[in-house]
Each structure stands twice: as structure tokens, then as C-alpha cells.
Amino acid sequence: MEHARHVFRVLLVLLLVIVVVIVGRSFLVPKSFGMYGNYRYDNVPEQMAARPPLHGGARSCADCHDERSAVLAKGSHARVSCEVCHGPLGRHVKDGDVVAKMAIDRSPRLCGNCHRKIDGRPPKFPQVVFEKHVEGGLGPKGCLDCHDAHSPKL
Amino acid sequence: MPEITGYAFPNDIHVHWSLMIVMYPYITGFVAGSFIVTALYHLFGKNEFQPVARLSLAASFCFLLVAGLPLQLHLGHPERGLFVMITPNFTSAMAGFGILYSFYLMIVMLEVWFVWRGEIIQTARRSRGLKRAFYAALALGTYDTSPQALEIDHRAVKVLSAIGLPSACMLHGYVGFIFGGIKANPWWSTPLMPVIFLCSAAVSGIALLILVYQVTAKLGRRVIQADTVSAMARWLWFFLIITVTLELLEIIMLAYENSEEWHIISPLLTTRLQFSFISMQMIIGSLIPFILLFIVTVMNRYLHEKVRNTLTVMASLLLLLQVFSMRWNVVIGGQLLSKSFRGLRSAYEPHLFEREGILVAIVLFVLPFVILYVFDRLLPIEAPPGAHAPDPHGDAPPAAGVSPAA
């Protein structure tokens, strides 16, 4: 045993290294790591704070555009949210003040997103074949020549 | 943009695992291979390996220090690399790296310490000032070189080799596992992968040591031991046969099954990997060294020493190329085929100057030798004449006339 002193020393050094590693690791592991899984949970609120939601939902426009909302609510587009056709609230209004004009897409492409005849769409959903829908082709205002975007049923 | 033939999904036409990921298994292969050589001497009593036992342990250590570097260079955020050790995700095979690497590093450092302890103490006794302080610290303050203490060292080295050998195999087998476990890729997904990686690691390790042994012996004007060279050639031949058999078996199996995977792998091998697989890995890298080593092994008795040395050196050089092409063909080859199994992208060509480029790869390969040189300065690899360096092989006397110090 007397001649094994160096072995004990090296084992002691090893133990020291292991302790340093364990203690060091406890400093390096991020605080919220492993709370809900193998990731740093704090990252979730951080990312949330970094990306404020832009959309306000269907009701958010009614505060200032109640007559438009009333029109929409009565027509066949009642189930279509304003932001689908225009854009997210956040680009138009911030903290209750208008910061920019809201986009308006007047092209037939907007309507085509939902109404162009495609085999994959449910057959009951109102669809038109653009090329055949209007005799002689579309006029200068496109679909809006005849349909009101907010209350499209004629 | 890479050129596509056939049909490839747009998201799998990029070679993300670059040249650095080729270098990584190449370098860890040397780590495992060199350790196998030390273990042949320390564990299995192959006394012919005595002249290279210390060299191979030192080489394994030096390559190990570099092994993580290609991975760091590959990462877009190298500073996050450490987290694979700090917060490992055990459902990912890559978590294995931290555990296996640090455990093996610990074992090798301990073994180095026990093997070189005698010299450390000698140097500490002989020198003054800072140098003395350094070596005294390395010796951990105990200067016990009594026969009993040396006997304990021998036993420690034996135990450490016995733990180190499986750890080295695990460290390298795990690299193969990473590829073998990717089930979407038929060129990788086979349980043979870790075994093939391991056997070719032994090939590259022995081949490298043959070269380093011959070069260092020439530089140090020492006699190149004939039986060491022929023993290494024999073992090299053995591992070469196993490796190439497994590599071929895997492909023949795919070809014979003739399933849908083969319809992409066969064009992969005959077009994109024609040069690196058929010419380099199979013909220049396997067939020719096989013949050379066949001559060395079977006609050993009739060979002049110079001829034997030249043949083994040539075979070793070719085998270093073989193993590199094998790593290349696995890592890069697997990324040239689309998971649609219907398309191939054009070959991947690394640039000379880039973070994951050719120059960096060369530096990575040279770096371990620089470390080996520094190692040799601090802890002489060849025991100096007259120093009573502990014979690391306790019970068996060294083979006749082998002592390099003579």
C-alpha cells in the first residue's frame, strides 16, 4: 500500500476533476433547462416577446369599422374574417392608433384564392370557372363590377 | 447549384455533411486504431509490438485531442458545440459523443501518465527551477520509483488498456452507429456500419503507425525492427481482409436482394463514386495493398529487409488512401442520392479555402503530428538510453534484441 501512494494521488486528482466538471456543469446548464423537456424553456417566452402577434382577430376591426362589420355579418361572407382579405391588424393599428393604411387587394386573384373552380374543393362550396363566369370577360374592376366584396351575394 | 439527374426532392440535394464530417471519422479512426496496437502489446502480449507500444499510445492521445475539432469547424455556432456535453439529449445518438469522448480521454490520459511516470520523475529530479516545478506537478509530487511502485504501474497500465480498448471501440463504433442508424438512407442504414468503421479504423491505425515508426526510426537513426514490421504487416493484412470483405458483403447483399434501393445505389457507385469507390477504395486502396501485404506475409522469410520495408510502407500509404476514400464514399456518397431513390446530384467538390475546405482538412491531419512532436519534447517517446524506464510489460521480458535504446 505504501508504494501505491501515487495511485491514490492520481485517483484524487480524478475525483477533483469529476467534482469540478459536475459543479461547472451546474453553472453552465441554463436555468430553465429541462422544465418541460430537453430544451431551455425560457426560450419560449423570449421568442414570444420577440414576435408580438400581428393579427387581432375578427372582432378587432369592429371597434372602428362597425358599419362594415355589420354589413359583413349579414352577408354570405359572414364567416370570412376581415384580416383574411385585408391584412393583419398590427400593420394598420398600433396601441389604438392608425399607423398605416390597410391594404386593399381589388384584383380577382383575391376572390380566386377561395372561389376558383378546383376539383379538390368541396363541390358544395360556391365556385366559378373564371373564364366562363362572365360573358365577354371581366370588366375593369374585376369581380367587384357586380359583387360587393363585403356582401357578395347578388 | 448542384446538377440533378433523375428526380430529387428539393430539400435533399444539398451536401450538408461536408469534408469536415469526412475528417472526423478518419481522425477518430486513427485514435481507435492506434489504441488497438498498444492493446495488442499490453493486453495480448504481442511482444513484437513493444517498439511501437509507446508510440501508438502517444499517437492515439494526440489524434484524440484533435478529434473534436472537425465537428467544431462544421458547426455554424461552434460555441454551442459544448452543449452536447453539458445538456445531452439521450434520445439522440450524438449525445454519445460527450460521454464516450470524455471517458476515453480520461482513460488515455491515465494510461499515458502511468506509462511515462518513470521519465517524469527522472526529469523532475534532473532539472531545476520552472522545469522542475512543471515535472514535479506532473508527477503529482510523489517520486516513488521503487520496483514495487513500478509493478503497480504495470498492473495499472494493463487494467487501463483493458478498459481503454472497449472504450476506443465504442468511441469509433458510435461514429458508425450515427450513419448506420439513419433508416431513410439505404447507403448508410445497415447494422454492419459500426463494424466496418471499426475494422477500417484498425487498418488506418496500423498503417499510420507503420509509417510513423519507420519515419521516426529513420530520424532517430534507430534500427527498424524486422519482426515488428512483419508483425504489423501481418495484422494490417488481417484487418484489411476483414474490412474489405465486410465492405463488399454489404454491397453484394444489396445487389443480390435487388430491391428498390439497389436501383439508386448501383448508379451511385458506377457514376458518382466511380473514381472514389471503384478505383480508389477497391482497386488502388484494397487490391494492390492486399497483394503487397500478401507478398510480405507469405514470403516473409525470403524478403530482404529493405524490400519488406518498402512494400509495407507502400501498402500503408495506399491503405491510408483507402480508408480516407471509404470515409468519403460513406459520408459524401450518402448525400448524393435523393431519398426519392430516383435522383442523384452532381458530385460534391470542397473548395481549397473555406472553413470546411481542403486546406483546413490538411491542417487537421498535420496537427496531431505537431502535437506528437510537442509530446515527444515533453515526454520522450523513445526511452533514452540508460534511463530505467518502466518496462510497460510487467511479466514478459521484451523480445530478444528489440530494445530500441540499445
B68 and B131 housed in the same domain? yes
Query: Domain for residue B8, yes or no?
Result: no
- Residue B227 within any structural domain of the chain: yes
Is residue B85 within 8 Å of residue B264, measured between CB atoms?
no
Answer yes or no: do B144 and B134 share one domain: yes
Q: Is residue B395 pLDDT above 80, yes or no?
A: no
* Interval B211-225: pLDDT, tens: 999 999 999 888 999
Say how far apart CA B380 and CA B368 lie, in whole Å: 16
The pLDDT score that the predictor gives to residue B398 is 42
| Average confidence (pLDDT) over B188-199 | 94
- Domain with B92, as residue range(s), is 17-180+349-381
pLDDT at position B394 over 80: no
pTM: 0.75
Per-residue pLDDT at B200 exceeds 60: yes
Give the pLDDT band (50/70/90) at residue B384. low
Say whether both B66 and B155 belong to one domain: yes
Q: Percent of chain A having pLDDT more than 90? A: 75
pLDDT at B275 > cutoff 50:
yes
Listed residues B332, B348, B364: the one ending a domain = B348
pLDDT of residue B267: 93
Residue B385 has pLDDT above 60, yes or no: no
Mean pLDDT of B111-124: 93
Instruction: Evaluate whether residue B363 is within a structural domain.
Output: yes
How many domains does one find in chain B? Answer: 2
Please compute the mean of the pLDDT values over residues B307-331 and round it to a whole number: 96
Do residue B39 and residue B175 come from a single domain? yes
Whether residue B86 and residue A38 make contact (CB cut-off 8 A), yes or no, is no
Q: How near does any CA of chain B get to the CA of A76, in Å?
A: 40
Q: Indicate if the pLDDT at residue A72 is higher than 60.
A: yes
Decide: A92 and A99 in contact? Cβ < 8 Å.
yes
Per-residue pLDDT band for B9 (boundaries 50, 70, 90) equals confident
Of B344, B189, B187, the residue nearest B262 (C-alpha): B187
CA-CA distance, A19 to A31, in Å (whole number)?
Answer: 20
Closest CA–CA distance from residue A45 to any residue of chain B (Å): 20
Shared-domain flag, residues B169 and B311: no
Is B335 a domain residue? yes
pLDDT of the residue at B402: 40
pLDDT score, position A135: 87
Looking at the domain assignment, is residue B256 inside a domain? yes
Cα separations in angstroms, B131 against B122, B145, B158: 12, 20, 30
Chain B residues whose C-beta is within 8 A of a chain A C-beta are 82, 86-87, 89, 91, 106, 110, 113, 117, 139-142, 144, 146, 148-149, 152, 156
Of B298, B327, B348, the one marking the end of a domain is B348
Q: Is B404's pLDDT higher than 50?
A: no
Question: What is d(CA B396, CA B70) in angstroms, rounded to the nearest whole number?
Answer: 40
Nearest CA in chain B to A32: B87
B217 shares its domain with B116? no
pLDDT tens sequence across B136-190:
999 998 888 899 999 999 999 999 999 999 999 999 999 999 999 999 899 999 9
Question: Are B99 and B207 members of one domain?
Answer: no
Residue A59: the pLDDT is 86
Between strands A97-98 and B4-7, the pairing is unpaired
Percent of chain B with pLDDT over 70: 94
Instruction: Name the 3-class secondary structure at B142.
Output: coil
Instruction: Give A1→chain B minimum CA distance, Å.
Output: 9
**Band of pLDDT at residue B397, cut at 50, 70 and 90:** very low
> Does residue B387 register a pLDDT over 70?
no
Residues B137 and B37 placed together within one structural domain of the fold: yes
At residue B403, does pLDDT exceed 60? no
Note whether residue B192 is domain-resident: yes
Task: Note whether A6 contacts B89, CB cutoff 8 Å.
Answer: no
Residues A124-153 have a mean pLDDT of: 91
C-alpha span between B80 and B94 (Å, rounded): 14
Q: Domain check: are B53 and B102 in the same one?
A: yes
> What does each C-alpha distance from B62 to B23, B58, B386 come to in angstroms?
15, 6, 27
For B345, residues 6+ apart whose C-beta sits below 8 A from its C-beta are B2, B3, B4, B8, B13, B15, B336, B338
Residue B113, H or E segment? helix B95-126
Other C-beta atoms lying within 10 Å of the C-beta of residue A64: 12
Judge whether residue A58 has pLDDT over 90: no
Closest chain A residue to the Cα of B150, Cα to Cα: A3
* One domain for residues B113 and B223: no
Residue B391 falls inside a structural domain: no
Q: How many CB pairs under 8 A join A and B?
A: 39
Give pLDDT tens digits for B42-87: 999 999 999 999 999 999 999 999 999 999 999 989 988 888 889 9
d(CA B216, CA B377): 13
Domain co-membership, B64 together with B107: yes
The predicted pLDDT at position A96 comes to 87
Average of pLDDT values for A115-128?
Answer: 93
Is residue A124's pLDDT more than 70?
yes
Q: Calculate the alpha carbon distances from B44 to B37, B121, B162, B260 in Å.
A: 10, 28, 10, 45
Q: Are residues B209 and B358 in the same domain?
A: no
Q: Do B142 and A38 touch (CB under 8 A)?
A: no
Compute the nearest-CA separation of B61 from chain A (Å): 18
Please name the member of B87, B106, B110 whose beta carbon is closest to the beta carbon of A29: B87
* Chain A residues in contact with B140 (beta carbon < 8 A): 6, 9-10, 13
- Residue B402 falls inside a structural domain: no
To the nearest whole number, what is the mean pLDDT of chain B? 90
